[in-house]
Amino acid sequence: MPRRAQETKFLQLTFQDHYRSNPENIDIPAKVHAREFGMESWAYTWRCIERNERNESGSTIRKGCGRSGNSFIRISKCPNCGSSDIHVNNWTRHHGFRTGEALVKELAMSAPHSVYHSAAFYKVPVARHMDEKEWQGAELVFDIDADHLNSPCADEHDTWRCNNPECDETGSGRSPTTGCPKCKGMSFSSRKWICDKCLDDAKKTLLKVYDDFLVHDLGINPELIQLNYSGHRGYHIRVRDPKVYKLGSNARVEIVHFITGMGFDSTKAVIIDGSIPRVSPRSFPGWAGKTAHAMVEFIKNIDTYLGTEQWVKRLKKNRTAAIKGLQREPPIITTVPGIGVKSWQEIAAKSTMAFGGEIDVPVTHDIHRIIRLIGSLNGKTGFLVSELTRDETDDFDPFGDALAFDEGALKLRVTGGQVKVPRFRIGDDAYGPYGDEVVELPMSAAVFLLCKGVATIE
């Protein structure tokens, strides 16, 4: 359901209040003058396209009125002339700030839905075209998004709606891959929710990428790594080591593959020694030393593997023996009869892919990417984009520690409908599930539902 103007205006004022009273929350990125900023605003700007067209009889007619304006709701027709040929936008990029104070001042004034800045440093960050900006280098960034992790809880709290206007069927879980059960259409809108389970999965991935790959394998100084909660479905990592700034996109792809386990040549990790197949010992550096561990994890979860290779059955049958052998040092794989070295190599390749850290790939290798400003508010939830140290991360609670609004309460009409607004937790209290009902909620919970677009102010 699209948000109404009244609620949008309320959220903007609430955000504005927050930025005015808490300017110290904003983390000013290093070399702020060299960054490009992007803003997602609450209001949409629209522009009606004016053009001359010839009609069937050959005479020229004018279409559109050329006017432009702002609107708090997303419009699909020009409010002036009714033309549907309009441009609507709530994004602006290429902003620049000379100082941190200027940035904070702008936030207190415009209180946008979301604020982003480039991981890159530019000579001319405000130039309209990338090649005019003169790229000087970029931090190495990683985005871990619960949406990419396929956590099973998505089936409990995500919902979908069929985009066929005559059908409008809704359901819970992920949108059906085999088509709408009612009209067989393949186009759906989905509402993604968050819960402790999927954010916990995201946190586990964050710590794996940080501990195992960045600090342990790549030897990056922990003091030069900044972590934060995104304010919605995930976590970010920024490597602020000048040595990585110069890395081009191709080099970053290699780091992505290293972390995700992609392109691993398992024929070097599972070899024939004499006539016995062997897996690299754990003492080996890099992925070779992780192979045995990755295989153990893969075999433990073999029931969820959908492949139909011959070895799947044998592995399922001899699961315990296989795991036991692989857990020895050096690992042994001769405990499972009937699986040859080629199959073991295939298993190793599948295992490394599954074992790698799931990250949102293009974010890392796009050297012009923008990323959320730490200390800003996330307009999808009203939560704070919160900076974390490695130690704080273990106990960090997104639904408690990232809350920005602790005063007051608000009466809302929740529009949960049949699929209902799923149960959620704010601080120590749980709310919902809600159908269509009026509730009074503490401010953080109320802002959360308004940001999610599932309630109106009563």
Residues that bind another protein (CB under 8 A): 177, 185-187, 216-220, 243-244, 246-251, 253-255, 257-258, 261-265, 268, 280-281, 283-288, 361-362, 365-366
The answer to whether 63 and 43 have CB atoms below 8 angstroms apart is no
| Min dist. Cβ of residue 109 to another protein (A) | 34
Instruction: Compare residues 273 and 303 and give the one whose CB is closer to another protein.
Output: 273
Q: Which tokens in the block code for residue 277?
A: 């197949």
| Min dist. Cβ of residue 250 to another protein (A) | 4
Instruction: Compare residues 72 and 284 and give the one whose CB is closer to another protein.
Output: 284
| Min dist. Cβ of residue 328 to another protein (A) | 16
| Min dist. Cβ of residue 178 to another protein (A) | 8
Instruction: Compare residues 44 and 287 and give the one whose CB is closer to another protein.
Output: 287
Instruction: Compare residues 220 and 450 and give the one whose CB is closer to another protein.
Output: 220
> In sequence order, what are the beta bridge partners of 457?
412
CB atoms within 10 A of CB 431: 19
| Min dist. Cβ of residue 170 to another protein (A) | 18
In 167-269, beta strands by DSSP E: 170-172, 188-191, 225-229, 234-239
N-term to C-term CA, the chain: 16
CA distances from 284 to 69, 267, 281, 288, 413 (A): 62, 15, 6, 6, 59
| Min dist. Cβ of residue 393 to another protein (A) | 22
CB atoms within 10 A of CB 66: 14
Instruction: Compare residues 259 and 446 and give the one whose CB is closer to another protein.
Output: 259
Instruction: Compare residues 50 and 366 and give the one whose CB is closer to another protein.
Output: 366
Cis peptide before 285 (omega within 30 of 0): no
The answer to whether 287 and 261 have CB atoms below 8 angstroms apart is yes
The answer to whether 266 and 348 have CB atoms below 8 angstroms apart is yes
The answer to whether 1 and 454 have CB atoms below 8 angstroms apart is yes
